[in-house]
């Protein structure tokens, strides 16, 4: 069973909120819902739309083909999306919108009668669509109360919309109702950070990383941490290093342009070994690119951020479940090994909402601050694992140092070659221990069975998972840890493959380049999408 | 417990400043100020953190035996702000030069003053990039001919006193590096001040910008000239008396231009920061309760 609803209108007409409410109501009824959000970089006007993919089985992508219902808040939505409709599909729209196959809802009359703001047209129309699919009003009502914080006028408006149409196209298959989660990648990253013991989130707004700042700001009082916006990304990264040095569990977040500005500070992380977690939400690039659309073009920037050589962790979740769990792992590894952990997401994962059955974090992060500071404490003590015991300033009457210069064990500046060798060796000794640990964190996942293999990473997971369900003989190998690269696990996952196809949302196949560098495996067959739109199952299947 | 002396704050690191460098005055006054504040019971040694960026003055990180964060060029302030947010009990002193604070990292100076972050910024102002062998900075006087400016500079020097006053700093002072006694007292007052404090130190660079004689002849003390540091407009007027050109007719005011305790500090504005050092807190958050925020039943 599969149904697809498109909701479109201008920015400011409540398109995204309407989709969220309708999607959540379907989840409440036991369906799996994937909610794709498409919007231009503006605040009023333009064309915004969401696509809700609804199924009785897990679904993590949308098709852009075959809408069952289009909810059109304006004429533009009809013009742009009528051709994508199924033959028996209908358009729900206010009287003013011109369309064939239209089920008109007299929103003007309802708004006038109830004396509610015009933005409630969205609520009226989703209620009409809800009725059309034969769904019970009560679950929509409950969802509206949750999402609009007890707005009773909205509930009344929804009731009017619900009563205005007939159940024309009831969904017969009704899955069992089960408690699930309806959550976006951004929300999952934010919750993962909180669960990790976050003390400070420091950021500067940039799409599509901003939602994490918003969610964390909204929850800071409840969970007793702070979300702080500083003057620019350079301040953010350097302040975060200071905060983490002084003992706070600290995370920063930005998109590609902001991360480029943070590069020098990321390099300082490498030298100073101050633990830090960075959230990188990619968007279409280079440069300003297409700011509110997606892309995976920053993978190698993440792997190579900052001048010089230093160990780091780059982890790329593929859905909100992974976003939550991998964020916790990022904290765990950063604070255990005193390294930079970069969580790489993108607009598609960050701003799409998924239905998740369960979460199951594998690790429990800790500050890893030593209980007793020896009187001869060395901030950069050379140890077998390369990890120096961590103390913080103010803890004991022994100076704690962090430095951007090459240094000795106490953190004093040293320019002798001997110290450069000792400290580089110390820093890179961590990699072996991190890699062993990462090997236990499922750095490579294999889904499905077959001799043909799709290799990919990050948010493309959704479209690929839905594609291989319809393909025979294909499996999907997902790389989640890109640095340190899980060489053995990857080789093992592709060893019997007859065909290997690289699927990425970028121009040059960045993961493919990294695989070639790390494993010697050259992947010649590639499906690369770089129109700033996310991959869909159809897009992949047609090109295999 | 024995009284702490400035020499107790020495480190084994060899000092690499040029003989006669103004930075020696800043180092001596800093160690004296910290030792006296410890002896007076204001704080313990473990509570002091210094941050530095990159430049000659920044080498002070290696020379004072307290907690230290040796950051990137122009970035002495952001880590200081971050340290203070993570642990508001720490006394944070951010050392930086005119190049780092007024060229590369000027946004941080303006914003930290605006936030009223409770840190002390010590501006080593030698009016030149010294560690890179003598280029003009934002405070270099008109007509300075350096290796990167053989035609002579013609830009207007920036006035960090007037700038930080306008930006919202609540303690603004200027001292002369060779007047260690006054510098020490002003540093102590700045460190004790709750809110953002700037101490500009006029610091001759004996190798690339030797202003020793000029300052010896032109500095005067504000407190001896009837200045009221509680009067913001008077402070701005005094700030504008000298424009950083080495004008033979100018008097160069030193001492405290402005002090105000009226504004809340940045750290006081954050409820979770106010509760004290984060590192002491046990976090026992239940992840299942957290994900339930997006649960649908």
> Taking CB atoms and an 8 Å limit, are A264 and B72 in contact across chains?
yes
CATH code of the domain occupying B6-294: 3.40.50.970
* Contacting residues of A for B87, CB less than 8 Å apart: 246-248, 392-394
* Chain B CB within 8 Å of residue A260 CB: no
- The chain B residue lying nearest A328, using CA atoms, is B287
* Contacting residues of B for A186, CB less than 8 Å apart: none
Q: How far apart are CA B288 and CA B68, in angstroms?
A: 39
Q: What residue ranges define each of the domains in chain A, with the CATH number in brackets?
A: 2-164 (3.40.920.10), 182-356 (3.40.50.970), 444-543 (3.40.50.920)
The interface predicted TM-score (ipTM) is 0.98
CA distances to A33, A171, A528 from A55, in Å: 6, 10, 27
> Chain B interface, mutation test: which of A320, A322, A329, A399, most B Cβ atoms within 10 Å?
A399
Give the count of Cβ contacts less than 8 A between chain A and B: 208
Touching A: B residues 97-136, CB under 8 Å = 107-108, 110-111
Of the candidates B45, B82, B295, which has its C-beta nearest A397's C-beta?
B45
pTM over 0.95: yes
* Rg, Å, chain B Cα set: 20
* Chain A CB within 8 Å of residue B274 CB: no
- What pLDDT sits at residue A65? 65
Position B292 confidence tier, pLDDT thresholds 50, 70, 90: very high
- The chain A residue lying nearest B9, using CA atoms, is A399
Q: How far apart are CA B211 and CA B179, in angstroms?
A: 14
Position B1 confidence tier, pLDDT thresholds 50, 70, 90: low
Instruction: Tell me if residue A541 falls in helix, strand or coil.
Output: helix
Q: Dihedral of the CA atoms A174, A177, A180, A185 (nearest 10)? A: 20
Q: Report the pLDDT averaged over residues B106-133.
A: 97
Is residue A244 within 8 A of residue A78, CB to CB? The reply is no
Return the domain boundaries, chain B.
Answer: 6-294
* Contacting residues of A for B280, CB less than 8 Å apart: 247
- What pLDDT sits at residue A44? 86
> Taking CB atoms and an 8 Å limit, are B86 and A243 in contact across chains?
yes
- Token output for A195: 């669960």
* Contacting residues of A for B297, CB less than 8 Å apart: 28, 179
* Chain B CB within 8 Å of residue A138 CB: no
- Token output for B251: 């008097």
Query: For residue A405, what are the contacts with CB-CB under 8 A and spacing of at least 6?
Result: A271, A413, A414, B70
> Chain A interface, mutation test: which of B16, B38, B296, B297, most A Cβ atoms within 10 Å?
B296
Mean pLDDT, chain A cut into blocks of 10 residues (544 residues total): 96 95 98 96 90 96 87 96 94 95 95 96 97 97 94 96 91 93 98 98 98 98 98 98 98 98 98 98 97 98 98 98 98 98 98 98 98 98 98 98 98 98 98 98 98 98 97 97 98 97 98 98 98 96 96
* Chain A CB within 8 Å of residue B66 CB: yes
- What pLDDT sits at residue A43? 86
* Contacting residues of A for B271, CB less than 8 Å apart: 221, 226
> Taking CB atoms and an 8 Å limit, are A221 and B271 in contact across chains?
yes
> Taking CB atoms and an 8 Å limit, are B46 and A396 in contact across chains?
yes
């Amino acid at each position: 069973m599969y149904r697809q609803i498109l909701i479109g209108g201008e920015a400011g007409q409540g398109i995204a909120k309407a989709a969220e409410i309708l999607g959540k109501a379907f989840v409440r009824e036991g369906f799996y819902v994937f909610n794709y959000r498409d919007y231009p970089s503006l605040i009023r006007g333009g064309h915004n739309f969401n696509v809700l993919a609804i199924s009785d089985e897990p679904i993590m992508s949308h098709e852009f083909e075959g809408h069952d219902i289009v909810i059109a808040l304006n004429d533009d939505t009809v013009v742009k999306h009528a051709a994508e409709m199924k033959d028996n599909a209908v358009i729900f729209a206010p009287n003013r919108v011109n369309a064939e196959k239209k089920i008109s809802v007299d929103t003007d009359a309802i708004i006038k009668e109830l004396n509610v703001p015009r933005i409630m047209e969205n609520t009226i129309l989703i209620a009409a669509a809800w009725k059309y699919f034969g769904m019970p009003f009560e679950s929509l009502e409950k969802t509206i109360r949750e999402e609009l914080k007890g707005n009773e006028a909205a509930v009344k408006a929804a009731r009017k919309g619900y009563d205005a149409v007939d159940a024309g196209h009831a969904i017969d298959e009704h899955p069992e109702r089960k408690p699930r989660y309806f959550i976006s990648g951004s929300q999952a990253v934010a919750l993962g950070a909180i669960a990790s013991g976050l003390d400070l989130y420091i950021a500067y707004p940039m799409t599509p990383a901003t939602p994490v700042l918003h969610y964390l700001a909204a929850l800071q009082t409840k969970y007793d941490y702070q979300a702080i916006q500083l003057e620019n990304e350079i301040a953010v990264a350097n302040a975060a290093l200071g905060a983490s040095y002084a003992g706070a569990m600290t995370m920063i977040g930005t998109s590609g342009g902001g991360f480029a500005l943070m590069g020098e500070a990321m390099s300082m992380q490498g030298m100073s070994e101050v633990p830090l977690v960075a959230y990188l939400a990619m968007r279409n690039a280079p440069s300003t690119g297409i700011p509110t659309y997606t892309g995976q073009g920053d993978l190698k920037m993440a792997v190579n951020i900052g001048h010089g050589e230093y160990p780091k962790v780059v982890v790329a979740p593929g859905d909100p479940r992974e976003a939550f769990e991998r964020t916790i792992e990022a904290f765990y590894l950063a604070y255990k090994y005193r390294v930079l952990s970069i969580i790489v997401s993108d607009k598609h994962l960050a701003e799409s909402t998924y239905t998740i059955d369960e979460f199951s974090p594998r690790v429990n992060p800790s500050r890893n601050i030593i209980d007793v500071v020896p009187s001869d404490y060395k901030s950069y003590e050379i140890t077998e694992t390369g990890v120096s015991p961590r103390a913080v300033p103010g803890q004991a009457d022994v100076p704690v140092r962090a430095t951007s210069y090459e240094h000795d064990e106490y953190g004093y500046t040293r320019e002798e070659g001997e110290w450069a060798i000792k400290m580089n060796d110390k820093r890179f000794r961590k990699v072996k221990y991190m890699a062993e640990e990462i090997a236990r964190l499922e750095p490579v996942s294999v889904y499905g069975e077959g001799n043909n293999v799709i290799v990919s990473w990050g948010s493309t997971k959704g479209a690929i998972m839905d594609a291989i369900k319809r393909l025979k003989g294909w499996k999907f190998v997902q790389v989640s840890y890109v640095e340190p690269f899980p060489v053995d696990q990857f080789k093992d996952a592709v060893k019997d493959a007859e065909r290997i196809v690289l699927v990425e949302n970028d121009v040059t196949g960045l993961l493919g380049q990294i695989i070639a560098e790390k494993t010697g495996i050259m992947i010649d067959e590639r499906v690369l999408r770089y129109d700033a739109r996310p991959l869909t199952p159809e897009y992949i299947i047609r090109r295999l | 417990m024995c009284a702490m002396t400035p020499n107790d704050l020495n480190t084994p690191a060899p000092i690499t400043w040029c003989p006669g460098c103004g930075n020696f005055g800043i180092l001596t006054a800093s160690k004296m100020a910290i030792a006296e504040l410890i002896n007076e019971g204001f704080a313990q040694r473990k509570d002091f953190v210094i941050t530095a960026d990159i430049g000659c003055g920044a080498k002070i990180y290696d020379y004072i035996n307290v907690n230290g964060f040796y950051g990137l060029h122009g970035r002495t302030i952001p880590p200081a702000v971050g340290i203070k947010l993570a642990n508001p009990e720490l006394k944070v002193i951010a050392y930086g030069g005119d190049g780092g604070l007024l060229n590369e990292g000027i946004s941080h100076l303006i914003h930290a003053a605006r936030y009223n972050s409770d840190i002390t910024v010590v501006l080593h102002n030698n009016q030149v990039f010294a560690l890179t062998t003598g280029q003009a900075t934002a405070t270099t006087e008109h007509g300075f001919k350096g290796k990167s400016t053989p035609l002579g500079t013609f830009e207007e020097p920036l006035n960090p006193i007037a700038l930080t006053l306008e930006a919202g700093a609540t303690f603004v002072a200027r001292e002369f590096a060779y007047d260690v006694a006054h510098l020490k007292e002003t540093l102590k007052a700045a460190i004790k001040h709750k809110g953002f404090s700037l101490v500009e130190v006029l610091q001759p660079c004996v190798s690339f910008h030797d202003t020793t004689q000029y300052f010896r002849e032109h500095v005067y003390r504000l407190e001896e000239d009837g200045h009221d540091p509680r009067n913001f407009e008077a402070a701005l007027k005094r700030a504008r008396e000298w424009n950083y050109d080495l004008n033979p007719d100018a008097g160069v005011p030193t001492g405290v231009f402005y002090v105000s305790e009226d504004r809340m500090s940045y750290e006081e504005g954050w409820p979770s920061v106010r509760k004290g050092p984060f590192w002491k807190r046990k976090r026992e958050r239940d992840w299942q309760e957290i994900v339930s925020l997006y649960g649908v039943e």
